Amino acid sequence: MRQNAVIFIVALLVLISATSCADAKVRQYKVKVVNEYPHDVTSYTQGLFFQGDYMVETTGQWGESTLRKVDLATGKAVMRLDFNRKYFVEGSAELDGNIYILTWKNKVAFMYDASTFEYKSTWSYPREGWGLTTDGRSLIASDGSSRLYFMDKNFKQQKVLNVTIDGRPVNMLNELEWIDGKIWANVYMTDLILIIDPSDGKVEATVDCTGLLPPSLRDKDTDVLNGIAFNPENGKIYLTGKYWKRLYEIETVAK
């Protein structure tokens, strides 16, 4: 699988480079670090979003999956819920006072009270769960393909969005975040984030996060970029990754 992922990544980068020359509408950005914060290195980050002054994070892996409310300044969890080891938790989002959580291969999704983490409901889920976000009306989910699924609060499908660059599908969409009317999507196994028009699925811009976590903060367990959070109260954007030691407040600048 990793070899196939490398082949896909090379093809994607070639496509983006060619598209950028042919189509000026696809903008290219890189990241500038504004601030950095501690991040729990035991967190295999899957979902990340703001709830008031705190961040809410879901973490994955069998036997390690959690739901956490995290203090930004310290990186420490002020509330934590541990899942049964049979669940591999994935993306998460808050909608109308509830936190919705996907699982990878368990074919179920959960709902918890956003304030108390009290369990509320379980749904059958028809596909692999990867990333999850919301536009304030619908839940928007990825499954590792080029498709994004819009669903209501009971996980009833409303529409499917095919994500493309220059008319070609972009696979391995993972962690999602709704930012200023656009969908930001991390491409799994890469340092690339796509900014997607939710009306037609076209990629409007790319964000290159290469080198965000320096070699000095990496070890044998450090995994890939995965974790996008937007604070609507101040417009700040934060990025982290699986088993990363830092979380970064970033700005985008033109390449």
pLDDT of residue 114: 96
Burial annotation 235-248 (CB, 10 A radius, 16+ → b, else e): eebbbbbbbbbbbb
Q: Which helix (H) or strand (E) holds 108?
A: strand 108-113
Give dist(CA 12, CA 8) in Å, integer: 6
- pLDDT digits 0-9 by tens, 213-229: 999 999 999 999 999 99
**What does the block give as tokens for 62?**
């069998």
16-30, 54-68, 92-106, 156-170: which has the minimum mean pLDDT? 16-30
Q: Which residue has the higher pLDDT, 5 or 212?
A: 212
- pLDDT digits 0-9 by tens, 104-120: 999 999 999 999 999 99
Residue 7 has pLDDT above 50, yes or no: no
CB atoms within 10 A of CB 125: 18
pLDDT of residue 255: 87
Instruction: Report in angstroms the alpha-carbon separations of 57 from 1, 75, 92, 208, 216.
Output: 27, 11, 8, 23, 24
Residue 12 has pLDDT above 80, yes or no: no
Give dist(CA 155, CA 136) in Å, integer: 14
Mean pLDDT of 169-197: 97
Instruction: Report in angstroms the alpha-carbon separations of 139 from 34, 48, 152, 157.
Output: 30, 15, 6, 9
Give dist(CA 89, CA 80) in Å, integer: 14
Instruction: Report in angstroms the alpha-carbon separations of 82 from 20, 132, 178, 228, 231.
Output: 44, 19, 26, 22, 25
**What does the block give as tokens for 130?**
């990867």
User: CA nearest 128: which of 149, 147, 146, 104?
Assistant: 104
pLDDT of residue 3: 45
Q: Sorting pLDDT into bands at 50, 70 and 90, what band is 19? A: low
What three-state secondary structure class fits 10?
helix
Contact 31, 252 (CB under 8 A): yes
**What does the block give as tokens for 56?**
């809410």
pLDDT of residue 25: 85
Give dist(CA 59, CA 83) in Å, integer: 10
Mean pLDDT of 134-139: 96
User: CA nearest 234: which of 213, 251, 209, 254?
Assistant: 251
pLDDT of residue 2: 45
pTM of the model: 0.90
13-27, 63-77, 159-173: which has the minimum mean pLDDT? 13-27
User: CA nearest 49: which of 222, 207, 178?
Assistant: 178
Give dist(CA 63, CA 85) in Å, integer: 4
Burial class of residue 33 (count of CB atoms within 10 Å of its CB; 0-12, 13-18, 19+): middle
